[in-house]
């Protein structure tokens, strides 16, 4: 009897692990962007990694009932992923190459680049992934500021552009308050 109980607990544990592992796979969503291995580009100083997954976003949505527009926006999201870190002389060139590779990848996958800024040592690009005429299912921001900071941001899910500025303010995501799609 004790062996059967142990076996049942072990089996339950394995099934639970499999279920949780599947929940973290956001690559199936069209708005997901794989930035690659950013760990190799980070130094030991000023590293920020934020990963807010669907379950937590749904919970946040319930806590923002006093603002229905924000609650609806957050409730429709699947993932918010932010990686920021200091740009140094050591990693600057690699970061610029990574930003160019991401740009090429997203453009080949029919993302709309709505902002492109490039100057010596600086890049800032903002991309939207659309599904149909008015549905946005992904937002990606890639910035590299030589001597400053690099940021890789990916927001996955149904995005209401009118409420996006509120999301940026709520989660302190820089640059989201002024985003507008170019015609």
SS3 140: strand
With respect to residue 8, please indicate whether it lies within any of the assigned structural domains: no
With respect to residue 166, please indicate whether it lies within any of the assigned structural domains: yes
Domain count, the chain: 1
Query: Is residue 12 scored above 60 in pLDDT?
Result: no
Span between the terminal Cα atoms of the chain, in Å: 69
Q: What angle do CA 9, 13, 18 make, to 5 degrees?
A: 150
How does pLDDT run across 61-77, given as a tens digit for each residue?
887 778 777 777 778 89
With respect to residue 101, please indicate whether it lies within any of the assigned structural domains: yes
Among 100, 88, 90, which Cα is nearest to 147's?
A: 88
Q: What is the pTM of this model?
A: 0.76
For residue 111, what are the domain limits?
25-170
With respect to residue 1, please indicate whether it lies within any of the assigned structural domains: no
With respect to residue 178, please indicate whether it lies within any of the assigned structural domains: no
Q: What angle do CA 90, 95, 97 make, to 5 degrees?
A: 115
Residue with tokens 């690559």, as numbered in its chain: 27
How does pLDDT run across 100-131, given as a tens digit for each residue?
999 999 999 999 999 999 998 899 999 999 98
With respect to residue 55, please indicate whether it lies within any of the assigned structural domains: yes
């Amino acid at each position: 009897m004790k062996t059967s109980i142990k076996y049942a607990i072990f089996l339950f544990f394995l099934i639970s692990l499999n279920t949780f592992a599947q929940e973290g796979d956001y690559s199936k969503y069209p708005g997901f962007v794989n930035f690659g291995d950013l760990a190799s580009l980070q130094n030991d100083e000023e590293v920020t990694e934020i990963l807010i997954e669907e379950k937590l976003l749904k919970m946040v949505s319930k806590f923002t009932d006093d603002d229905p527009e924000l609650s609806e926006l957050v409730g429709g999201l699947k993932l918010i992923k932010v990686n920021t870190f200091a740009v140094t002389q050591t990693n600057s060139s690699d970061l610029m190459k990574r930003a160019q590779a991401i740009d090429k990848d997203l453009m080949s996958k029919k993302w709309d680049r709505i902002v492109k800024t490039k100057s010596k040592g600086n890049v800032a690009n903002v991309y939207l992934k659309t599904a149909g005429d008015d549905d946005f299912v992904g937002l990606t921001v890639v910035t590299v500021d030589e001597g400053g900071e690099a940021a890789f941001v990916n927001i996955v899910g149904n995005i209401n552009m009118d409420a996006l500025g509120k999301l940026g303010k709520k989660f302190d995501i820089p640059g989201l308050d002024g985003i507008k799609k170019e015609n």
